[in-house]
A and B are shown apart, each in its own frame.
Chain A
Amino acid sequence: MVQPRIRRRAFDAVTPAPAAAPVAPAVKLTGFVRQFGANRVIDGLDLSIAPGEFVALLGASGSGKTTLLRTLAGLDPVGDQDVTTPDTRAVVFQDARLLPWKKVWRNVALGLKDKGVRARAEAALKEVGLGHRLDAWPSTLSGGEAQRTALARALVREPGLLLLDEPFAALDALTRLKMHDLVLNLWNEHRPAVLLVTHDVDEAIALADRVLVLNKGRIAAEERIALERPRAPDARFQAVRRRLLGHLGVEAPASHEAALVAFPSGEAVQ
């Protein structure tokens, strides 16, 4: 479990210094550790996310992305470690996890108590383009519709932190692109801090302000994406992607992570 120190130094050298945050961060973890038995999945991780910042998290399978996200969602015990998060958090999982016995709008309204809940749920569903499926049963939704419902359910709470765990992974390429636009629009509208876990380097670059690479329980690399949105896959985009793939490729032995990424231009990896 002990990692070679020299390697980590090498990563530290690659990582650009984080910009000094003028306001209190929405999310802050310092030296965070999480282990299952002897398996130390997160090992002294430092993370800070500014309010309203869109952060994407890349990493090989099993690198602990979901573990980190669950911690931030408050789903796992953290012991006496300091974990700063906003009070209102909402998660969208890879599977929509809608309650099959509640109509779509009631799923969105789940746990909301104040009056006018139906109107709020309705507004949120209209925002994701599902105003016409309010009274449908979740089992009758398509995969994309279910994920949009899950998004509406997350956003109706106006969360300070929106956690997305590979929410588009099960969707087809076209739907995924539409979902990207939708998420960006919603983020612009509501401005939560976002942590998006993804396997797709292009997705990370297209959406995020900052892309993190998780490796051996720590943030091994970081890329700030200063490109204007919407982002076309131009030369600067490609440069960022090459660097990120490099970060992933160095540690992933078979570089299978890179193989998962679609290359529109057909160029070779590395």
Chain B
Amino acid sequence: MSLTTADRISLARPFRWPRLSRARWLSPVLLLALWELGSRFGVIPERVLAAPSTVAETFWALTISGELPANLLVSLARALAGLTIALIVAVTLGLISGLSRLGETAIDPLMQIKRTIPSLALTPLFIVWFGIGETPKIALIAVATTFPIYLNLFAGVRGIDVRLVEAARSFGLSDWSLVREVILPGALPSFFVGLRYALGVSVLVLVVAEQINAQAGLGHLINNARDFMRTDIIVVCLLVYALLGLGADAFVRTLERRALAWRPSLVEQ
């Protein structure tokens, strides 16, 4: 009973790797090293995949030339524009349908129908409707990210503890303050789940939307690189997409930590 798991393992195995057993960074680094070696010795040709060192150089060069930051900003602006529209629409619809039976009857079936159509499948239609400028790209992101925000907010509003609502109502809160002080804060954890998911989706849709004849943005950079078989630039852009996803997640986590400080956490931070 007094032996912890770690003790027992150390007794059973006389030889230990004290540090390396927990080094999660090791295998990715090994992979990078193999990749680098493969490129140096010509096993992996440059036009198949550029060496990590080349990618790093390119990353640096693109950054100081301002090419990467400029295109990144364009992409970010698209994602933000789409997300802003989605937030406004989804929060409005989610509240209407969450707060009233009538609203649910009117809105929820439409949203469910919308959900069954894969957003990316709308691309051709949007090109027909909006041409090949910024509009179809932003519209695609907006459409794709609306549903997760809507659905989670709706579930959050409906999942509120009615006993809390009742208690607040017994203290004479008006409908509006009830929404503001009880229902919205109560639905917030659920809303954040939706927001996080929507941010992930927005990066995904961004990748596809930017294949539509983009004159700027990460997609444009990738398309150009493809034409010149610059695998190093392609990998740099892939990295940036990955960083965008990570950054978005970290952003929502920070928001959550601040807004949900009241929640007793299951796992100690």
The complex places the Cα of A101 from the Cα of B163 at a distance, in Å, of 15
By beta carbon, the residue of chain B nearest A140 is B264
Find out whether the CB atom of B181 lies under 8 angstroms from the CB atom of A153. Answer: no
Contact A111 B168 (CB under 8 A): yes
Are B166 and A75 in contact (CB-based, < 8 A)? yes
> Hey, which chain A residues are within 8 Å of B262, CB to CB?
100-102, 137-139
- Which B residue sits closest to A95, measured CB to CB? B163
- Residue A89 at the B interface, CB < 8 A? yes
Which of B167, B177, B181, B186 gathers most chain A CB within 10 Å? Answer: B167
B122 interface contact, C-beta 8 A:
no
Is A99 positioned at the interface, with any CB of B under 8 Å from its CB?
yes
Cβ of B35 to closest chain A Cβ, rounded Å: 48
Could you tell me if B170 and A75 are in contact, using CB atoms closer than 8 angstroms?
Answer: yes
| Cβ B170 vs Cβ A89 within 8 A | yes
Known: A110-B181, A139-B264. A90 touches B170 (CB 8 A): yes
A97: Cβ under 8 A from any B Cβ: yes
User: In the assembly, what is the distance between CA of A249 and CA of B173, in Å?
Assistant: 41
Closest to A106 in B: B181
Q: Assuming the A-B contacts A99-B182, A100-B263, A139-B264, are A111 and B172 also in contact, with contact meaning beta carbons closer than 8 angstroms in the complex? A: yes
Q: Is residue A16 contacting chain B, with contact meaning CB distance below 8 A?
A: no
Q: Does A93 sit within 8 A of B, measured CB to CB? A: yes
Min CB–CB distance B140 → chain A (angstroms) = 35
By the criterion CB–CB under 8 Å, are B163 and A91 in contact?
no
In the complex, what distance in Å separates the CA atom of A139 from the CA atom of B263? 8
A233 contacts the other chain (CB 8 A): no
Q: Is A117 an interface residue (CB 8 A)?
A: no
When each residue 239-269 of chain B gets 1 if its CB lies under 8 Å from chain A and 0 otherwise, what string results?
0000000000000000000001111100000
Interface size on B, residues (CB 8 A): 21
A159 — nearest CB in chain B belongs to which residue? Answer: B171
Highest count of chain A CB atoms <10 Å: which of B168, B172, B264: B172
State how many angstroms separate the Cβ of B240 from the closest Cβ of chain A: 37
B residues 142-191 in Cβ contact with A at 8 Å: 163-164, 166-173, 177, 181-182, 185-186, 188
Q: Do B181 and A90 have beta carbons less than 8 Å apart?
A: no
Determine the chain B residues whose CB is within 8 A of the CB of A138 once the complex forms.
262
B163 touches A110 (CB 8 A): no
Tell me if A129 is interfacial: C-beta within 8 Å of chain B. Answer: no
Q: How many residues of A contact B (CB 8 A)?
A: 21
Q: Give the residues in chain B near A100, CB-CB below 8 Å.
A: 262-263
A139 to B260, CA, bound (A): 12
Asked if B171 and A90 make an inter-chain contact with CB atoms under 8 angstroms apart, the answer reads yes
Q: How far is the CA of A140 from the CA of B169 in the complex (A)?
A: 24
A74: chain B residues at CB < 8 Å are: 170
Let me know if B185 and A97 touch, CB within 8 A: no
The answer to whether A111 touches B171, judged by C-beta atoms less than 8 angstroms apart, is yes
Please indicate the chain A residues that have their CB under 8 angstroms from the CB of B177 in the complex.
Answer: 111
Contacts of A97 in B (CB 8 A): 163-164, 166-167
Instruction: List A residues 40-84 near B (Cβ within 8 Å).
Output: 73-75
- Is A157 interfacial (CB-CB < 8 Å)? yes
Residues of A within 8 Å of B263, CB to CB, are 100, 139
> In whole angstroms, how far apart are the Cα atoms of A146 and B11 in the complex?
48
Q: Which residue on A lies nearest to B171, using beta carbons?
A: A111
CB contacts (< 8 Å) of B185 on chain A: these are 99, 101-102
Chain A residues contacting B170 (CB-CB under 8 Å) are 73-75, 89-91
What is the CB-to-nearest-CB distance from A165 to chain B, in angstroms, rounded to a whole number?
Answer: 11
Task: List CB contacts (< 8 Å) of B38-96 with chain A.
Answer: none
**List of B residues within 8 angstroms of A139 by Cβ:** 262-264
Min CB–CB distance A252 → chain B (angstroms): 28
A101 touches B171 (CB 8 A): no
B262 CB to nearest A CB, Å = 5
Do B171 and A157 have beta carbons less than 8 Å apart?
yes
Residues of chain A from 94 to 129 with CB closer than 8 A to chain B in the complex: 95, 97, 99-102, 110-111
A147 → B minimal CB distance (Å): 13
Contact partner of A110 (CB less than 8 A), chosen from B168, B188, B260, B264, is B168
Give the interface centre of B171, B186, B261 by most chain A CB atoms within 10 Å: B171
Bound-complex Cα distance A100 to B182 (A): 10
By beta carbon, the residue of chain A nearest B264 is: A139
Most buried by A among B163, B170, B188: B170
Please name 7 pairs of A and B residues whose Cβ atoms are closer than 8 Å in the assembled complex, sorted by A: A99-B168, A99-B182, A100-B262, A110-B168, A111-B181, A137-B264, A138-B262
Query: Lowest 4 CB-CB distances: which A-B pairs, in order?
Result: A97-B167, A101-B185, A111-B171, A139-B264
Given contacts A93-B167, A111-B172, could you give 20 more A-B pairs where the C-beta distance is less than 8 Å?
Answer: A75-B166, A75-B170, A90-B171, A91-B167, A91-B170, A97-B163, A97-B166, A97-B167, A99-B185, A100-B262, A101-B260, A102-B181, A102-B262, A110-B173, A111-B173, A137-B264, A138-B262, A139-B263, A139-B264, A153-B171
